[in-house]
Amino acid sequence: MNRKKQERGDFSGISQKFSKSIYDTTKGQLRVEVLKRDLASLLASEPCSVLDVGAGLGQVNQWFQEKGFTVVHSDLSTDMVEEASRRHKAAGLGGQCQYLTASLNDLVNQLPLVQYDIILCHAVLEWLPDTEVAIEQLASLLKPGGRLSLMFYNHHAQLFANAVYGNFDYIERGLKVKKTVRLSPQNPVVPEKVDDYLQDNKLKVRQKTGVRCFHDYLRNLDDQQRFDELLSLEMKYNQTSPYRELGRYQHWLIEKPNFQEE
């Protein structure tokens, strides 16, 4: 579909830069390892339908394809979708995957509305103008009894990190930058508001994890390369308060009950 103006979160034309900046780093590797652990129970379940919203290069939904799940890979960027398809085919996958260049809004406006057993929505909310609407849309796409893997950029961690860095003027501006950077999300999400919106839509949080609870606060940046030690520290504490709440991202596993609960 054609868009005259490129939307925030549309990384068309920079898929390789995106991969190098996000995944080929210690912070990206930490994210992958945490997600692998958190999603293990879903990956071990009976194969079913999976929707990946803002799927990027498809690293996470590839794990589901390898287990025989039927996947819909959706992203705003045509480049990302095409590159993901190439990567999946190179891995001998893609036969059970549908590839869509579409926004969350596009998916909800498709008629008839299709619902999914599992929805993956990672690092998407912080690019959208209205978190409440986005969660309503995700809830509408999820089958009763379905599960949502939701990862979002944490407002509190963004504020805390910038206090540690001494960026007091940035905090005073409400975490608003003077000049936007394309790969940097500009709408960090307040976890308490996400909790409220989930409750409004009768969605139940079953597990909360912090992602990068220590990595981004290291005073000596060389210590970020001590990956095995960092990973061990992360896995030990990132589901425990108060360290969980310091995660640069929050990863929540959420369920839509089969029956409305009082």
Annotated binding site for S-adenosyl-L-methionine: 31, 54-55, 75, 122
Q: How far apart are CA 255 and CA 146, in angstroms?
A: 6
CA dihedral for 254, 71, 184, 136, sign (positive or negative): negative
78 membership: H or E segment, kind and range: helix 78-90
3-state SS assignment for residue 211: strand
Collect contacts of 39-46 with beta carbons under 8 A, ≥24 apart.
Answer: 39/63, 39/149, 42/118, 42/147, 42/149, 42/253, 43/67
Q: Which is it for the CA torsion 56, 62, 63, 67, positive or negative?
A: positive
For residues 210 and 243, the answer to whether their CB atoms sit within 8 Å is yes
d(CA 109, CA 103): 10
Residue positions forming the annotated binding site: 31, 54-55, 75, 122
